[in-house]
Structure 1
């Protein structure tokens, strides 16, 4: 007899394989409001795990420029994370204030989450697992790693922290 999970996925062989799309993953905004990723169907999404006290923090400027320049086809989503060097220690209000005051950030910011480890958020499970995203597996190495999703919810690629937001590695898809 199949378990409920096996019945849902249709596979006894690989019960961890999910039929979940990125659009089905629940996540909340920095203000605690639910974000329906499905509202971004038809646009590309760039997920970036961000931190306020990192050597890459100045990438907020170019992320905002990217968001402004391609707002008709791209949604930039900042994902605060405190797992690398404890470089995002603030609470939601402190993070929001820091980003607005220092970098003029108006793009979407999610709640602070874990992007790796046993408490990894389902969004990053999907982004980093070939079994879920259908393209490739990865691990998040540091703050400001970027994941680009196409307008149909498929992973295009990921980029390490050293890849600048306005790099042609990213903009060639926009």
Structure 2
């Protein structure tokens, strides 16, 4: 999608959804243009994974889909040496299902699911205060790709471009996810 069309979509989403759009959001070309803060409080620029595929997932500890952490960890273990990075983005946007602090979230994930893939601090993924990555993803893929619940997944190719949005109900180890991941792994 070109810069002009992306800027038009961002403006429309801003007007319709109450989003705060910045010039940086409208100018972003790839996922490499965004930085999160890690669950440990450090800068976590997505550009540090240039050349790798990313699976960015908004997560929650008290959700019916929380067992997907197990599949996400298995996916990470299976494909990390081939260039996949799974990134968990804790969010309390849906049903207040991620009320804990960063330390509580980290402890929960490690204790219950042995999670060792990168995690961000808690972020909003919808609405006016959504993290810029999520505003960009929505503008890039359209309103139907906006997270509607926890464990919504975005697949990013090694070039930093969004490949697809994968709905909450789609298990991380399902055949469609495996096929999509294998298709975008770095050569």
Same-fold call, TM cutoff 0.5: yes
Aligned-partner SS, 1:66:
helix
**1:151 to partner: Cα distance:** 0.6
5 Å-filtered alignment, 1:56-75, equals 56-72=65-81, 73-75=83-85
The match for 1:31 is 40
The match for 1:99 is 109
Q: 1:19 to 1:95 in 2, by over 3 A?
A: same
The match for 1:161 is 168
The 2-side partners of 1:159 and 1:57 are apart by 16
Q: State the superposition RMSD in angstroms.
A: 1.9
**TM norm structure 2:** 0.81
Consecutive unaligned residues in structure 2, runs of 5 or more? 12-24, 183-187
Consecutive unaligned residues in structure 1, runs of 5 or more? 1-8
C-alpha contact 2:31 2:162 (8 A) present in aligned 1? no
**TM norm structure 1:** 0.86
Question: Runs of 4+ in structure 1 displaced over 3 angstroms?
Answer: 13-17
Tell me the matched-pair count. Answer: 161
Higher helix proportion (structure 1 or 2): 2
Whose radius of gyration is greater, 1 or 2? 1
**1:42 to partner: Cα distance:** 1.1
